[in-house]
Structure 1
Amino acid sequence: MANGTTRKKGTPAKAMKAARGRSVVAKKGTPWGTIAGVVLVVALLASVITYYMVKSAPQRDQKSRDEAAASYAPSASNPDPSKKIPGVITANYAGSVHILPTERVAYDHSPPFGGPHDGYWAACNGIVYPKAVRTENMVHSLEHGTVWIAYNPQQITGDQVALLSARVKGKPYTMMSPYPGLDKPISLQSWGHQLKLDKADDPRIDEFIAALRTNPNGVYPEIGASCDALGPGQFDPSNPPPFDPSKPGPDAKPMTYKGSTGAQGDAGTAPGSSGMPSSPPAGQ
């Protein structure tokens, strides 16, 4: 050129190419939509895990309590481990002494844990009754190897009720109900055994259940008897006979009563039936 400078060939072309490259990069930008989607998925997954952990906490905690109480399971060499549990009281009662649904018993303890009882047993297949149930039906279930958790509804509420319920729900030969007027916050019953406690987190609850629920060593009269619901007209768990808080009258049956005519049922069958009792589930 006239001024003596020399222009390098291809320079404008390279500049244009570089500019186009920068333009493409700028157009791609940050994938905010993808990032937002991933964040949403992670948040939802975290919510599901948190919900599961919260919901399953009572079951997981109860499993730990059951494992801690496993040493109280009965054996041939230790037929009644409940004798080692502080606070347990015992009494001897004759089994298979039945009364009519219209009759009451003058029990020697409150709640009772043995003695004459209604010919129809209360369903005791892992059921938590929201309202108090007629005592005479509940006692019959004890005769079948059940553990009954009773609680004072004025003293045990909210999380304490949930903690007790975790010991019962879905577990054969257990049942739970409020018991108005109970002299302690909590009372556990099995046939011929009782333990009264102040708190729902007391480990003796689990020890009592491990030692006495369907204990096969003669601690309750009717081994192998059913705990299933009998149904309407007998004992309907959806509409059970209500608890009577009044003191039994002079016509109440004494603890020495021998049974009412027409009310007898044998080995866990309903009065007048001939069905065979079902065996407790192995290992339950």
Structure 2
Amino acid sequence: MGSASKPSTKAQANKPSGKQAGLDRRARIAELRAAEQRRDRRNKIIAGSVAGVLVIAAIATGTWIVVDANKDKKAKEAAASAPIDGVQTFGDLGRTHVKEKVTYPQTPPVGGDHNAMWLDCMGRVYDQPVENERAVHSLEHGAVWVTYNGKATPEDIKALSDKVKATPYSLMSPYPDEKGTITLSAWSTQLVVEKADDPRVNQFFTKYVQGKQTQEPGASCSMGAM
């Protein structure tokens, strides 16, 4: 029988020794660790840069928020001080609490002696006429009272209702006897318009809801007569 074949000298030469294999493995591990450390340092640099950008952005944003808030405040103050075309004012009016009915010179009334109990006016929409004497008390507390007669369209009534419901210190009710289609009343102040989309409606709300005409600033507009 023939003799067993021997491994080639070339294969033996290419096969690393145990010692060399161990060195190669440690070198590979060291290389991987170095690469991982480089990657960590790079990620930290990127994270730091992003954080710095975010801080700068936050500071810038905060600055702009303050500026915008100041601009908004100034715009509201300007709107509150600007005259509104067609607004009538009626001077000093009585403020005595009475139990009897009062004959008012304005229709709807804008102030004067009134009932001791005000109407709920935290965005309250009434579908029936309300008592003058209690509505006037609400005006004393800084409310705007929106009234309308039979000439107001359903669309106008809906738009005004939505406006009132979204506005604390306001109330709304029908007022069949008023001459104007839509009347906006605050204490000693009144405006008549024909349509709900008249820009003066928003101007009136801005200026007179808890405006300077308010006789009892901070007084409640809830817990009154329902």
TM-score range, shorter chain: 0.5 to 0.7
Larger relative CO (CA 8 A, sep 6+): 1 or 2? 1
Q: CA deviation at 1:229?
A: 2.3
CA contact (8 A) 2:84 2:204 kept: yes
Equivalent in the alignment of 1:106: 103
Equivalent in the alignment of 2:186: 190
- For residues 113-124 of structure 1, the aligned pairs below 5 Å read 113-124=110-121
Equivalent in the alignment of 1:132: 129
TM-score (norm 1): 0.51
Equivalent in the alignment of 1:56: none
- 2:67 is aligned with 1:73: no
Shift of the 186–97 alpha-carbon distance from structure 1 to 2, 3 Å rule, reads same
Separation in 2, partners of 1:86, 1:214? 20
CA contact (8 A) 2:118 2:137 kept: yes
- The equivalent position to 2:199 in structure 1, one of 180, 203, 212, is 203
Equivalent in the alignment of 2:218: 224
> Root-mean-square deviation (CA), in Å?
2.1
Separation in 1, partners of 2:195, 2:156? 8
Q: Residues 151-197 of structure 1, C-alpha deviation per residue, up to 9 Å, x if partnerless?
A: 01x11132111011121014210100000121010000001110001
Q: CA deviation at 1:203?
A: 0.7
CA contact (8 A) 1:111 1:182 kept: yes
Equivalent in the alignment of 1:176: 172
Separation in 2, partners of 1:167, 1:128? 10
- 2:156 is aligned with 1:160: yes
CA contact (8 A) 1:124 1:229 kept: no
Equivalent in the alignment of 1:57: none
Q: CA deviation at 1:93?
A: 2.7
Q: CA deviation at 1:113?
A: 0.5
Q: Which consecutive aligned stretches of 4+ in structure 1 deviate over 3 angstroms post-superposition?
A: 70-75
CA contact (8 A) 2:104 2:112 kept: yes
Separation in 2, partners of 1:132, 1:140? 15
Separation in 1, partners of 2:137, 2:75? 24
CA contact (8 A) 2:119 2:137 kept: yes
Please list every run of 5 or more consecutive structure 2 residues that lacks an aligned counterpart in the other structure. Answer: 1-72
Number of equivalences: 155
CA contact (8 A) 2:95 2:111 kept: no
Separation in 2, partners of 1:119, 1:161? 29
Equivalent in the alignment of 1:92: 91
CA contact (8 A) 2:93 2:188 kept: no
From the CA coordinates, give the structure whose radius of gyration is larger: 2
Letter of the 1:128 partner, please give it: V
Separation in 2, partners of 1:72, 1:211? 12
Q: Percent identity among equivalent residues?
A: 40
Letter of the 2:124 partner, please give it: I
Separation in 1, partners of 2:94, 2:76? 24
Letter of the 2:76 partner, please give it: A
- For residues 225-240 of structure 1, the aligned pairs below 5 Å read 225-230=219-224, 235=225, 237=226
Separation in 2, partners of 1:133, 1:214? 21
Q: Comparing both structures, which one devotes a greater share of its residues to helix? A: 2
CA contact (8 A) 1:72 1:211 kept: no
Q: CA deviation at 1:72?
A: 7.0
CA contact (8 A) 1:72 1:81 kept: no
